[in-house]
């Protein structure tokens, strides 16, 4: 049962990635995350109830890990093609499987090991076909953000296994979403204050008399415009907010995907290593929709790797 829950969660997660990419076309990173998470919190608010202070502290820590993973992942998503981002995120199960065996003593049968090996091998080969998907500067910045996202995402997954032993799924999801919303709201507030401060200083500078050496046309690098153009994947107004119904879709998809994930993880015989690999197979959904909607390149080579990954997922389903 827990394997099927993980599969449906992966399908929703892949669709969520596509909707999130679409939402970033109109809004900045924090705007998308804050609105989508606030809506998700509203959806699960009926399950909010007072619990032990220790549980709330644990969920606040989880919220910090999730927020760090989301923000860094969204920054990477803005700089890299969707299929490339999905590939990098696919490296998470490598670490999750390793630490699940070390920390939780999970044991896999030969078919599960074979399925994991095939999926991870497909993800590794997919990385080579994604190298030409962006310019060198965009790749460098995007890969740094995605590296942070992967590390915090792995820590969050391992932490989930630990906290789910003594908490109910909807209790975890509802309070974690609320804490994430608060953290993101504080981040947005700090960013707004910082931007207002810079705008005030810039306004004061414009009122001062200019020296002769600045009387000509402005150099191409003034205001950071040349840097912004070097990373053309970035939006012109990274912090703006424009209402988009895609945000509601993002919230619905992540709420349902997380709920299925927590219920799968709560099952007594559930294996985090298997659930993590199956959830990363969401790249199959992301790949298909990304190719159709965003017309991303290098599809034929990536498609062969996707077929190999699908074969690995089938083995995991049979072996579990």
**Closest by Cα among 161, 167, 109, 175 to 276:** 161
Average pLDDT over residues 15-21: 85
Percent of the chain with pLDDT strictly greater than 70: 71
With contact defined as beta carbons under 8 Å apart, do 141 and 79 qualify?
yes
The residue among 155, 164, 152 whose CA lies nearest residue 68 is 152
For 241-271, the pLDDT digits (tens) are: 778 888 999 999 999 999 999 999 988 888 8
DSSP state of 25: T
**Model confidence over 79-113: pLDDT tens digits?**
777 667 766 776 677 778 878 888 877 777 777 77
Q: pLDDT by residue (tens digit) across 37-46?
A: 999 999 999 9
Contacts of 133 (CB under 8 A, 6+ apart): 80, 81, 83, 84, 139, 296, 297, 298
Predicted local confidence at residue 175, as pLDDT: 95
Name the helix (H) or strand (E) containing 87: helix 82-89
Return the number of other C-beta atoms located less than 10 Å from residue 210's C-beta.
9
Q: How far is CA 291 from CA 81, 209, 244, 284, in A?
A: 10, 53, 22, 11
Residue 97 has a pLDDT of 81
Q: Which pLDDT score is estimated for 248? A: 92
pLDDT at residue 189 greater than cutoff 80: yes
167 dihedral zone (left: phi>0; alpha: psi -120 to 50; beta):
beta
227: pLDDT strictly greater than 80: no
Burial 172-192 (b: 16+ CB within 10 A, else e): bbbbbbbbbbbbbeebbeeee
Mean pLDDT of 183-193: 86
pLDDT of residue 240: 66
């Amino acid at each position: 049962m827990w394997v099927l829950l993980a599969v449906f969660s992966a399908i929703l997660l892949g669709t969520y990635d596509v909707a999130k990419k679409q939402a970033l076309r109109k809004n900045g990173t924090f705007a998308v995350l804050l609105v989508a998470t606030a809506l998700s919190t509203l959806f699960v608010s009926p399950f909010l109830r007072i619990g032990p202070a220790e549980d709330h502290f644990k969920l606040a820590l989880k919220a910090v890990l999730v927020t760090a993973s989301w923000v860094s992942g969204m920054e990477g998503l803005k700089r890299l093609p969707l299929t490339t981002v999905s590939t990098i995120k696919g490296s998470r199960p490598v670490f999750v499987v390793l630490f699940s065996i070390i920390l939780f003593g999970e044991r896999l049968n030969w078919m599960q090991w074979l399925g994991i090996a095939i999926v991870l091998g497909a993800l590794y080969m997919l990385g080579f076909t994604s190298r030409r998907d962006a310019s060198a500067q965009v790749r460098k910045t995007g890969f740094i953000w995605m590296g942070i996202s992967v590390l915090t995402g792995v820590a969050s997954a391992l932490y989930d296994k630990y906290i789910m032993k003594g908490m109910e799924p909807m209790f975890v999801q509802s309070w974690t979403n609320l804490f994430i919303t608060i953290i993101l709201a504080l981040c947005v507030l700090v960013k707004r204050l910082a931007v207002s401060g810079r705008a005030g200083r810039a306004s004061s500078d414009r009122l001062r008399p200019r020296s002769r050496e600045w009387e000509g046309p402005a150099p191409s690098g003034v205001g950071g415009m040349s840097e912004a153009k070097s990373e053309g994947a970035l939006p012109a107004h990274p912090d703006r907010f424009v209402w988009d119904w895609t945000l509601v879709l993002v919230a619905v998809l992540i709420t349902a995907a997380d709920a299925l994930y927590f219920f799968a993880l709560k099952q007594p015989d559930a294996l985090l290593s298997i659930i993590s690999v199956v959830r990363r197979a969401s790249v199959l959904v992301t790949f298909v929709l990304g190719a159709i909607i965003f017309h991303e390149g290098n599809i034929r080579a990536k498609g062969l790797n996707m077929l190999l990954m699908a074969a690995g997922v089938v083995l995991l389903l049979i072996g579990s």
